Structure 1
Amino acid sequence: METVRMLSTLGLMGAMRSLASAFETATGIHVDADYAPTLALLKRLRAGEPADLVILTREGLDEMIGEGRVVADGAKDLARSYVGLAVRAGAAHPDIGSEAALRKTLLAARSIAYSRLGASGVYFAQLIVRMEIAAEINATATVVEQGFTAERLVTGEADLAVQQISELKQVEGIEVIGPIPHELQTPAVFSAGRIASAGHAAAADRLLRYLASPEVIPVLRQSGLEP
C-alpha cells in the first residue's frame, strides 16, 4: 500500500482522524500523519524532515512556499478556526460574550492554560497585552509548551483553557464555553500544500484535492472548524 507522509498543525487533528481513514478506504493510499504546532513543524521542515504534504497556518505555508519547500501551485485554504475557552466538564460556564465580561472572567480565573508554540497561544499572549491584564494573567498562568491546553483542566492545574476550538474539542472531560468575541480575534486559516521534494507527489496531490473538496465540510464543522 502506498503511504503519504503528512505533517499537520494540531488544529486539524480531530477532523483528519476520520478523513484519513475515509481517504484510505476510497483510494487505498495510507496517510501517515504527525501533528504538532505550526512553529514546531516549520522548524522540522527547515531541518530537512521528509514529508509529502503539510498543513500549516496560512502564514506558515506562505513562508514555506517563499523558501521553495512547498509547491505554490495547488496549495489550498482548508478551514478557518476561532480561539475559544473551555472549562472542566460540569463546571459553571462564565460569561465571555463581550470584552468587559471576558476581562472579568480571565481575571477571576485561578489559572489559565494556554500554549506557547501554537497560533492560539501567540494570539492570546497579544490579546492580554492589548487588554492590559498580561501581568496579572501570566503571574498564575499554566503555559503549555505544546499539545492540548484543555488537558490541564482535567488534571486540575487550570480552571480555564484557551486554544483553537477544534483543539479544545480533542480532550475528553471538558466543555467548550464558546469563542472569544469575534471582534477581538482574527481567525486562523489552515492551509495545505505539497512538499517540493515529495516522494509521493501524485498521492499527495490526490489527498490535497480530497481535503479541499465539499464532501469533507461536515467533518470540519463537527470538529469545530469553519470550512
Structure 2
Amino acid sequence: MSSLKILSGGAAQGLVASVAPKFKATTGLDIEGEFGAVGAMADKLRTGTPADIVVLTAAMITTLARENLVASRSIADIGLVETAIAIRAGDPPVSVRDTAELRKAFVAADAIFVPDTRASTAGIHVAKVLQQLGIADEVAARLKIFPNGATAMRNLAASTAARPIGCTQSTEILSTPGVMLSGSLPQGCELSTVYTAAVAAQAVDAGHAQDLIDLLIGTEQHDLRERSGFVEIEK
C-alpha cells in the first residue's frame, strides 16, 4: 500500500495538501482521493468508493456515524470554516460589512462564481442568501456554478469578466492562486461550518488514517490551520 485514501469536502483540501509532506515523511504514504461537495463525497462513501479517512461537515459525519459508515470513536473536529467573498487578485476589494453592502456587491458583479448550490455547504448557503437578499432572480443568469468551491475559485482567477466575484468557504479561497479573500459574509448572512474527520468503517489502513487525523488536529498544526482558513473551536 503506497497511499491513504481520502474522501473530503473541498474546504479541507488546502490543509490536507499542507500536511501531506509531513505525513509521508513519517509514514511513507501519499494521500490520494477526492475533494468536493460534501453531499457528493458522502454519497461516494455510501456507494462503496474506497476510503480510509473522511473529512466532511460535523453534521454529515454524525449522519455517516449513524449509518455505521465511519468509526464513531475516531471522530475529531478540525475547526470552523467561514463562508466568504472572493475577488481576483489585483481587483479592487469588495466591502461586505453588512447586508446592504453584500447585496450591492452581488448586484454589481457581472459574474458570480459559486460551488454546487444543491450539494455543497457553501453553495447551498449562497443560494439561501441570494433569496434572503431578494436578488436571486436578478442575478441568476450571472451565477457560474461549479462542482466545488476550489473549481469555482480557479475559474474566478481565470475569468475575463469585468467585475467578477466569488462566494465559497474561506479555505478554498485562501488555497487558490489568483484569488483573494475580500471579506466574510456579514452578520445575518454568515455561515461558519465545523469540519470533522473520521476513520471510514471499511478503511483498509485504519491505523494510518488515525495518524492523519491526529496530524490534522494536533496543536503543532495550529498556525497552519489558521493560515489555511480554519478557526479554532472554542471549548
| TM-score bin, normalised by smaller chain | over 0.9
* 2:61 paired with 1:56: no
Partner of 1:152: 155
2:203 alignment partner in structure 1: 198
How does 1:1-227 map onto structure 2 within 5 Å?
3-116=3-116, 117-146=119-148, 147-153=150-156, 154-157=158-161, 159-227=164-232
Contact 1:115/1:145 (8 A) holds in 2: yes
Deviation per residue, 1:138-169 (Å, 9 max, x gap): 13211223342222322225701111011012
Which range is displaced more, 157-166 or 52-61? 157-166
Aligned-pair distance for 1:68?
0.5
Cα distance, 1:183 vs. partner? Answer: 4.1
Q: Indicate the SS of the match to 1:19.
A: helix
Contact 1:148 1:167 (C-alpha < 8 Å) held by counterparts: no
TM-score normalized by the length of structure 2: 0.90
1:149 is paired with a residue whose SS is helix
Residue type of the alignment partner of 2:123: G
Q: How has the CA–CA distance of structure 1 residues 108 and 44 changed in structure 2, closer, same or farther, with 3 Å as cutoff?
A: same
Contact conserved, 1:148 with 1:171, CA < 8 A, in 2? no
User: Aligned-pair distance for 1:85?
Assistant: 0.9
Q: How many Å separate the matches in 2 of 1:33 and 1:18?
A: 15
Describe the shift of the 1:51–1:96 C-alpha distance in structure 2 as closer, same or farther (beyond 3 A). same
Structure 2 CA distance for partners of 1:151 and 1:31, relative to 1, 3 Å: closer
- Please give the alpha-carbon distance, in whole angstroms, between the structure 1 residues aligned to 2:160 and 2:77: 36
Q: Which amino acid aligns with 2:193?
A: A
Amino acid at match of 1:6: I
Q: Provide the C-alpha distance between the structure 2 equivalents of 1:205 and 1:68, rounded to a whole number of angstroms.
A: 17
The answer on whether the counterparts of 1:84 and 1:180 sit within 8 Å (CA) in structure 2 is yes
For this pair of structures, how many residues does the alignment match? 227
User: 1 CA distance for matches of 2:88 and 2:166?
Assistant: 9
Q: What is the identity, as a one-letter code, of the residue corresponding to 2:43?
A: K
| Residues 55 and 198, structure 2, Cα contact 8 Å, conserved in 1 | yes
Task: Could you tell me which runs of 5 or more consecutive residues in structure 2 were left unpaired when the two chains were aligned.
Answer: none
Q: How many angstroms apart in 1 are the aligned matches of 2:61 and 2:24?
A: 25
Query: Which amino acid in 2 is paired with 1:54?
Result: V
The percentage of counterpart residues that share the same residue type is: 25
Paired AA for residue 79 in structure 2: A
Distance 2:125 2:7 in 1: 22
Letter in 2 for 1:42: A
Offset from partner CA, 1:64-100 (integer Å, 9 cap, x none): 1111100111201102100111111221112211111
Q: Which runs of 5+ in 1 are unaligned?
A: none
Q: What secondary structure, in the 3-state scheme, does the structure 2 residue paired with 1:168 have? A: helix
What is the CA distance between 1:27 and its match in structure 2?
3.2
The letter of the residue matching 2:192 is: P
Q: TM-score normalized by structure 1?
A: 0.93
Counterpart residue identity of residue 22, structure 1: K
